[in-house]
Every structure is written in C-alpha cells, then in structure tokens.
C-alpha cells in the first residue's frame, strides 16, 4: 500500500482548533496518522513531502455546482450547445474545480439530462480529473416556472424539464433516477433575470410532494430546490427537501422552521451570483442601475441579513455561488469564502469549516470527508499562507502548493517549498 508522509506542516484540521505544527501519514487513500510531534511517524513512507511550513488542510466543497454552465451571459447558450461539445466543456470545468482545491462538489443541476452523470462516472473511473461529485439532472420546473422558455405557440428547447401535475412529475423523476442521478432539483421559486419573479412560487404542492415521495422511495435520493421566496423555503421544510438553494427572502417563520429542523437541511445561498450581478455584470448589459431595477440589490440586502440570521441560529450554511456565468466564471469559486467573511460576518475559521466540515456532511460522508483526522479519506490541500489571516488566499491557485484526492496527487509539490506561513497567535 503506497504511503505519503507530510512533514513540516501546519495542520488546520477543521475541528475549530487553531492550526498546529505536525505531520500527517497517508496510507493508500486514507489518513493513517496525525501527529503533533516531529519525527514520531515512521520515515519508511514511500514518499516524504516537506511542506516547508505550509498549511495542510482538507480539500474544499462547493455546495452549488454547475459543471455544464459554460461562462456565458445567458441561459440560451447552455441549452443550444450540442451535447458533444457540452460534455467536453463540463469535463473541463470539473478539472478546474479540482485545480482550485475543491475535492467535493454538489451538483445543482445539469443543462442536459446525462451530463452530470457521465462526468461523475468518468471521474470515478479515473478517466478524467475532477472532485468527488454528486450528480444532478436538469432542473424540474412547471409550466410558466423558472426555465420554461417555450413560447406557447411553438415548441422550443429549454434547459429544464417542464412538467404539469403530479403524474408528469413522477414520470420525470423516474426518468432521471433511471439515469443514475444522486440528486433531484426542483425549481420552486423564480429568478429575477427570467420571466418568473424571485418571490413567486409557481410549483404546486402536490407536484412537490410527488417528487419527494418518488425520489425518497427510490434508493433514498435526496432533493434540492431553487427556493428564493419565503413560501418556497417553508415548502422545503414541510416536504423534507434536504438542500435549499438561495433562501434569500426567508422570513421569520421560515427561519424558525429551518432552525427547528437544522439537522435535516443545508442552505447554500449562492451569494456570488447575486453580488456579481449587482456589481460586475455591466459588460454584459446589466449595469448597476439595471440590476437595481431588476431587484438584485434588494435581494442581495435581504440575502445578507437572512444568512446572518441563519449563522446565529446554527443553521448549516455552505458556500457555492452558482458559478459558470460570464460574470461568475469558473475558477473563481473561492470568492464565496470571502463573501462569507466580509458580508455575512463569519470568522475565517467558520467559513473554512463551512467548506470542509459541512462539506463532508452535505456529501453524506461526515465520517470520511472534511476533516484532517485518522481514518478520513486523504483529500488534502497544502496552502502557502494562513487563511485565518487572509481568507482570499484560496483565490490564488499559485498559493495552493499541492492537491491530493483519494490519496493521489492531482497537483504535486515542486521543491523547494514556497511556503511563507505565519500562523496567527
């Protein structure tokens, strides 16, 4: 069994404890030993990596991932792109996540039925590079809901599955389960950039109930939901939808429900999409004035206050910014950690735990992922610097000196170490 020994590292184990000097031994694909004493672990490892004082920690999780979003300014390109080119683009985006230190990703919808499933399967086979991945199918919407782009007088494409009523919902969910998805995504609310408003909730309750019943009954597949409106968040709790995306307009009743069921739900607000649409989309025609008129500044203000309240209530909030649009391009995923600290009041440690410790939980592998601990899977990154002092370090790929997934290096450290770590007292 191949072994790797990391020596001369600062260990940020994601338990909340301050980083400490130590060593970590990896055997096969798992962490075999974590030591606080230099030289205590055998030097007979197949490979010894001197970290030069760099920070060793768990790989990161993005809880709202779209491999098949392709850095375009609208939804048309992802729907119209031929599937052959689209699968290559999605595979390239999967590699980009891993290049950025993200070893866990939760699929939040694919633009075509099998894109996520195929990329996940080829990652698992070792045929392409990418993070551990929970594959999703296309978003499911109702007539007139988010993603129903078809004019009534002509059949056209759409990037979602459009259903009408519980029987069509059952058939749609069964088709996606047949393809092997890990998650089902429902569009409960709207989105300001579309014809369906963010605070509208067009999906009927019998449709929601049928989707949850069918997915949970078949192999225990979890549901996630695009849920910006207060009503949609409450429906998530009522029907046991585990992963809640956005939740910008959650009111006190919705917050109370989430808090009372906080061990059952995860919230990924997708802040990058809202923030960047407000401030960084002018080159694509969405100036700050346009964004304000569309309601995005109002939503950003609401989302910030809502997520602050969730943090105080102990509701599990994770990063994942809906990346893959022109103004939220792939490769900028770690901006979410900065937003958590600068906008939401998370401490740097809390932000890191939301992307590591909670990442293991949302991946449904809490005893194997998200911590640097004996027996955990060896998904590790070696960072040049202390993110507790500067949470933006993750945004510079050159500061990620090494990336290990499942005990194998995706990015190997080239000596001599560049690390300039100064751990806060």
- Residue 165, helix vs strand vs coil: coil
Phi-psi region of 241 (alpha: psi -120 to 50; beta: other; left: phi over 0): beta
Please check whether residues 196 and 221 belong to one and the same domain: yes
Strand order of the β-sheet with 132-134 is 60-65, 102-107, 132-134
Q: Tens place of pLDDT for every residue, the chain, 425 residues?
A: 889 999 999 999 999 999 999 999 999 999 999 999 888 887 777 889 999 999 999 999 999 999 999 999 888 888 889 999 999 999 999 999 999 999 999 999 999 999 999 999 999 999 999 999 999 999 998 765 555 556 565 566 677 888 999 999 999 999 999 999 999 999 999 887 777 788 888 899 999 999 999 999 877 999 999 999 999 999 999 999 999 999 999 999 999 999 999 999 999 999 999 999 999 999 999 999 999 999 999 999 999 999 999 999 999 999 998 999 999 999 999 999 999 999 999 999 999 999 999 999 999 999 999 999 999 999 999 999 999 999 999 999 999 999 999 999 999 987 645 544 434 43
Please say whether the dihedral angle defined by the alpha carbons of residues 151, 109, 95 and 351, taken in this order, is positive or negative. Answer: positive
Gap between the Cα atoms of 300 and 352, Å rounded:
22
The residue to which tokens 């300001």 are assigned:
192
CATH of the domain at 49: 2.30.40.10
Please check whether residues 17 and 86 belong to one and the same domain: no
Please check whether residues 94 and 80 belong to one and the same domain: yes
Q: Which residues contact 145 (CB under 8 A, 6 or more apart)?
A: 162, 187, 190, 196, 202, 203
420 assigned to some structural domain: no
Per-residue pLDDT at 80: 85
Q: How many domains does the chain have?
A: 2
Please check whether residues 378 and 260 belong to one and the same domain: no
Please check whether residues 72 and 44 belong to one and the same domain: no
234-237, Cβ contacts within 8 angstroms, sequence gap of 24 or more = 235/188, 235/201, 235/205, 235/208, 236/188, 236/265, 237/261, 237/265
Query: In the chain, helix, strand, coil percent, each to 5?
Result: 35, 20, 45
Examine the fold and report which residue of 331, 362, 393 is the final residue of a domain before the chain moves on.
362
Please check whether residues 72 and 41 belong to one and the same domain: no
Contact 157, 79 (CB under 8 A): yes
Gap between the Cα atoms of 264 and 256, Å rounded:
14
Q: Which helix (H) or strand (E) holds 13?
A: none
Token pair in block for residue 252:
């006190």
Contact 362, 243 (CB under 8 A): yes
Please check whether residues 137 and 227 belong to one and the same domain: yes
34 assigned to some structural domain: yes
Total residue count of the chain as it appears in this document: 425
- Residue 7, helix vs strand vs coil: strand
Q: Which helix (H) or strand (E) holds 226?
A: strand 222-227
Per-residue pLDDT at 150: 61
Please check whether residues 407 and 328 belong to one and the same domain: no
Phi-psi region of 407 (alpha: psi -120 to 50; beta: other; left: phi over 0): left
Q: Which residues contact 370 (CB under 8 A, 6 or more apart)?
A: 14, 58, 61, 104, 356, 357, 358, 359, 360, 361, 363, 376
Per-residue pLDDT at 421: 41
Please check whether residues 35 and 79 belong to one and the same domain: no
- From first CA to last CA, the distance across the chain in angstroms is 38
Contact 72, 28 (CB under 8 A): no
Closest CA to 385 of 7, 6, 9: 9
89 assigned to some structural domain: yes
Q: Which residues contact 62 (CB under 8 A, 6 or more apart)?
A: 97, 102, 104, 105, 106, 131, 319, 320, 321, 323, 333, 336, 355
Token pair in block for residue 200:
């509208």
Please check whether residues 273 and 396 belong to one and the same domain: no
Please say whether the dihedral angle defined by the alpha carbons of residues 271, 274, 275 and 277, taken in this order, is positive or negative. Answer: positive
Per-residue pLDDT at 338: 98
Gap between the Cα atoms of 317 and 244, Å rounded:
10
Q: What is the DSSP letter of 130?
A: -
Please check whether residues 66 and 39 belong to one and the same domain: no
Please check whether residues 226 and 374 belong to one and the same domain: no
Q: Which helix (H) or strand (E) holds 54?
A: none
Whole domain around residue 72: which residue ranges?
62-362
Examine the fold and report which residue of 362, 379, 402 is the final residue of a domain before the chain moves on.
362
The residue to which tokens 């996606």 are assigned:
176
Contact 102, 61 (CB under 8 A): yes
């Amino acid at each position: 069994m191949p072994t790797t020994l990391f020596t001369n590292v600062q260990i940020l184990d994601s338990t909340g404890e301050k980083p400490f000097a130590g060593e970590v031994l990896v055997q096969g694909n798992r962490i075999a030993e974590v030591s606080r004493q230099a030289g205590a672990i055998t030097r007979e490892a197949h490979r010894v990596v001197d970290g030069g004082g760099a920070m060793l920690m768990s790989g990161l999780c993005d809880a709202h991932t779209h491999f098949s979003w392709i850095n375009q300014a609208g939804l048309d390109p992802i729907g119209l792109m031929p599937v052959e080119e689209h699968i290559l683009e999605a595979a390239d985006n999967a590699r980009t996540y891993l290049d950025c230190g993200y070893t866990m990703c939760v699929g939040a919808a694919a633009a075509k039925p099998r894109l996520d499933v195929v990329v996940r399967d080829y990652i698992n086979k070792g045929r392409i590079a990418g993070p551990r991945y929970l594959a999703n199918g296309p978003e499911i919407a109702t007539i007139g809901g988010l993603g129903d782009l078809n004019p009534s007088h002509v059949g056209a494409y759409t990037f979602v599955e459009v259903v009408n009523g519980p029987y069509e919902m059952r058939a749609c969910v069964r088709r996606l389960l047949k393809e092997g998805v890990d998650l089902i995504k429902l569009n409960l609310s709207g989105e300001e950039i579309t014809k369906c408003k963010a605070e509208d909730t067009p999906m009927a309750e019998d449709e929601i109930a049928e989707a949850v019943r069918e997915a949970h009954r078949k192999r225990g597949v979890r549901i996630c939901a695009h849920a910006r409106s207060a009503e949609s968040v409450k429906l998530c709790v009522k029907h046991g939808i585990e992963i809640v995306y956005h939740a910008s307009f959650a009111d006190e009743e919705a917050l109370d429900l989430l808090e009372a069921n906080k061990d059952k739900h995860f919230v990924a607000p997708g802040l990058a999409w809202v923030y960047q649409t407000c401030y960084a989309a002018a080159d694509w025609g969405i100036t700050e004035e346009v964004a304000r008129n569309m309601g995005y500044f109002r939503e950003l203000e609401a989302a910030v206050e809502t997520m602050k309240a969730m943090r105080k209530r102990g509701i599990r909030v994770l990063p994942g910014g809906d990346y893959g649009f022109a103004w939220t391009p792939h490769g900028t995923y770690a901006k979410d950690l900065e937003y958590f600290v600068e906008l939401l009041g998370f401490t740097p440690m809390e932000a890191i735990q939301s992307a590591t410790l909670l990442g293991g939980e949302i991946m449904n592998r809490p005893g194997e992922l998200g911590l640097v601990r004996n027996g955990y899977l060896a998904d590790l990154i070696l960072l040049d610097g202390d993110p507790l002092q500067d949470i933006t370090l993750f945004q510079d790929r050159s500061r990620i000196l090494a990336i290990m997934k499942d005990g194998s290096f995706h990015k190997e450290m080239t000596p001599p170490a560049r690390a300039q770590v100064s751990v806060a007292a």
